[in-house]
Amino acid sequence: MTRIARIRATPVTVPLEAPLRHSNGAHWGRFVRTLVEVETDDGYLGLGEFGGGGESATAAVEGLLPLLKGHDVFRLEAMRFAICNPTASLYNNRTQMHAALEFACLDVMGQKLGVPVCDLLGGRVRDAVEFAAYLFFRYPDERTGEGEVRTPEQLVANARALKAEHGFRSHKVKGGVFPPGHELECYRALAAAMPGDSLRHDPNCAWSLADAIAFGRGIEGLNNDFFEDPVWGMPQLSRLREFVRIPTATNTVVVNFEQLAANAAQRAVDVILLDTTFWGGIRPCIKAAGVCETFGLGVAVHSSGELGVQLATMLHLGAVVPNLGYSADAHYHHLKDDVIVGGKMKYVDGRIEVPRAPGLGVKLDREKVARYHELYRELGGYPYDRDPGRPGWFPLIPNRDWADPDAASRPAMR
């Protein structure tokens, strides 16, 4: 047996090209993530990752060691109940921590057996995973003044640059920032500039049903993959489908099996976006993909602001799911750097190759981990649900207090 001996958690902050705006606030020029390392009694080291960081996250992860010390990394189902017992989780939700530990255990298993993680999960059906360009409205970088995306022209220029660099053939716009009419103008401009490419819009549940119907009808004739989370909740998403003939998608209201069952009965959402941290690991996502296949629902791989460790889990997931019907999301191209050996993974023709080395196929660059851990200690976290350019503002659902598309600002991001 290969038993867990030690668990370490390290919060890091990695800079972005520019601050990313969304309906709930903004990413303040950086991503904050927690790296998790699991050491075993026979000398293996497995890697995991989840969103957020800080002393509480570190203490929570490392505080699981008394539950898991001596646990065999191959006993993943037993570990799931040790960490995420469904009744205990009502009081102490550890889903993302479980995901990071599952990643690390799978990494160890692959290393010990000499095979990539995808071979432990049914074997690959594809060697590379296609990604969409993830387009955000952005504040300019506070140091250089560059990178702003606010107007249709700026959005199109950003999309063209990303397509030229990475080869993307589909484009996702993160909306819910400006008035829906302005975002409709931006989306139509993008469609005109990218003939033949597919599009998707994600306002993060910020719109009223009326706004979502108007926007959806305004884009029905375009080459849309799906309409992602325009309104909040299954009842409104179900109602929206009566008025707009575009597949709906979600990563917010179907993130566990109870919600998946409810959606199968209610038919509110057509495409389920599977996130390896939100669902608690790669294996739950594969199970969910099987349920979706049974009920005729589409699936895609969701992004939650990953560094290279979680990106590797997304690639192994994408390698083994046969009914993956859409290109994956990834915030990854917004990062200036990564914490893995060799730096950022490369896109080729809009795809990233699934790692072939044993385990997850990535290793930590210790110098970069130390550098970005120190940057985290310097800058700390940031309130995800606040916009530094709009002091005093906070998000409502549905939102009517939109940012002004004509007002450029350069807020302090500290």
List the catalytic residues. 174, 302
Q: Which two tokens stand for residue 163?
A: 């397509």
Q: Where is 215: in which H helix or E strand?
A: helix 209-219
With a CB cutoff of 8 Å and minimum separation 6, the contacts of 108 are 2, 38, 40, 44, 45, 46, 73, 359
Closest to 355 (Cα-Cα) out of 299, 309, 291, 290: 309
Q: Which residues contact 314 (CB under 8 A, 6 or more apart)?
A: 129, 276, 301, 303, 306, 328, 330
Contact in structure between 385 and 125 (CB atoms under 8 Å): no
> Amino acid identity of 362?
V
Instruction: Measure the N-to-C terminal CA separation of the chain; round to a whole number of Å.
Output: 47
Residues 232, 233, 239, 241: what is their CA dihedral angle, to the nearest 10 degrees?
A: 80
Q: How many CA atoms lie within 13 A of 309 on its CB side?
A: 27
Dihedral sign, Cα of residue 306, residue 92, residue 9, residue 374:
positive
Sheet holding 45-51, edge to edge: 4-15, 30-40, 45-51
Instruction: Compute how many other C-beta atoms are within 10 angstroms of the C-beta atom of residue 125.
Output: 13
Query: Are the CB atoms for 95 and 89 separated by under 8 Å?
Result: yes
Q: How far is CA 274 from the centre of its chain?
A: 9
Of 276, 314, 243, 244, nearest in space to 95 by CA:
276
Give me the residue label for tokens 């719109």. Answer: 207
